[in-house]
Structure 1
Amino acid sequence: MNRILAKRMKENIYYQYDSSQLPEISLADTAVIEPPYIHKRRMPLEYIIYLVRQGEMFLLEDGVRYHLTPGDFLILDPDKIHVGERATHCEYHYIHFHQKSIKKNKMTNEQTTEIILRKRTQSMQSDSCTLSGQERVSLSLLALPKYMHLSDTSSYSEILQKINDGITCQKNRMEGYYNLCACQILEMMILVSRQFVTSLAQEKTGVVGSYRKIYDLLDYLNNCYREPISGVLIEEQLGGNFDYLNRIFRQTTGKTIFQYLTEVRISHAKELLGTTSLKISQVSEKVGFSDESYFSKVFKKMTGMTPMNYMKSR
């Protein structure tokens, strides 16, 4: 089978991983193999992550061939036999772990892909101060790819750093090392999951492809809410027609762009009113309102109380 085609097929398999639970790490290290060494045939009885640094690796797992090169990430299943097929030079990281709630899934159609992409939209709209228990559970679920080539240079460097930090923790055996190692590996998994979801958004077109614009919009609004944002400015920053952007934003989030922007501003205003001694006029300005009276009106409409009463209630 053509290597590129094989990789595309493997990308359709992913694991649902509950990031509210730390992985149980049994082994984490770096290995360098040279001919004539070749991976022995085995069923590992635990999940194994490989991340290739140099050289190449030829593996067969459950009838599927994997030709791994630098930057390739692969998860091997605990109940599947895998074996090396060729003796080659290869430097790679390996992580052996258990996690009871992990589930293997297949992305069978556009709808499955859209479900994964919608998770990111929900996460980017969420407010950690007001999340319900059910929302926390939902947002903690990661989509980890079976196979992925980590092509983003900055993310790849960060992922490698987390693995190296985890390996260091595993080796030094100082107090708390086991959980600290697990935390580093969990961070790595989150970064891989994020790159996986980003790659899905970049590869798709049509309805699913519109998520790229939504993510850019959410990121812009979440970070630049203090600025005097207008439809013209959004067109300049994001590219494209504002009416189109507003329409796909509403279809995805259930809110218009400016409704969402107002929610972000009021959320930050509540934080400032409850945790600082700033005057209401100062809070208003810091969250992007140029008119204090208008800010007070919007705040009361959204929270049910005036900024002053909210501040006194904290």
Structure 2
Amino acid sequence: MNKLYYIKENGIHKLHYDFGESKCELFILLNQRVEPLHVHNFDELAVVFGGSAIHVIDEQKYPVVRGDVFVIRGKHRHTFEELDNLNIANIIFRRDYFETLEKEFADLPGFKALFIDEPRYRINQQFKSKLHLNSGQLQEIMNLLNGIRDEQANILPGYNEAKERIFEFLIIKLCRDFSKKQTANTMSLLRVSKAIDYMENNYEKRITNCLLARMTDMSESNFRYCFKKVTGLSPIDFLIKLRVEKAVGVMETTPSINVTETAMKIGFDDSAYFSKKFKQIVGISPMIFLKKQRAKVE
């Protein structure tokens, strides 16, 4: 049975791969053919090493050319149109493996921007923050991809582990290249990504625009402008939304908690203000949300 196959559910094409014991696999596609618009049961790192096309993802269209590198999260519907001798290397990887990599490379400059925030905020950025490699950088990446290809072909003892180590070094190399890229869009994404990472790990603390601006080496006004350009939200609105999302998680796992305790736990000093923002974002009050959670466990 082919390990890579399509199924169709509710009119949506879903591309599945049976990984078995493998955590990642490389597919090198020469003169890529047209595929149906689809989602995956895996995530994917794409390296364009020849030709061009229009990448259609989440109903948006972006040109891709030789040297472009980007991540496609499995939940996003995508395909390629107007293919012109498109040659592309796809490394597909299991989502639980990516969660491990996310922890392992948490402090690696460029990782969060390239693998998490660029895909997340791609529509706002119009794909202008994608990584583009020059000829020398692309050749270095192709050498690593050839190493993965050889391990897959030869199937020597330890080949799965060897593939993973090469892939992880490839990630480090790409993150270094992304961090060195000095366009306005990528610099904004790198700096905003640093602020987002801090907010996600310290949401319960007092966080100000001034603090985040200093952290990202920007003036406060420029930081606010860049943050909204990348995320579509002001820093304070982003923080409020993040805290409300954390509150939902707290109340789902601890339905015995009350509204005031929840507000204090996730960084709100005023439970009334928390309730107002919670209802705006979730659609119901935190009190009603808690009642529904308690009913589930009774």
Higher-Rg member (1/2) = 1
TM-score (norm 2): 0.49
Larger RCO (CA under 8 A, 6+ residues apart): 1
TM-score (norm 1): 0.47
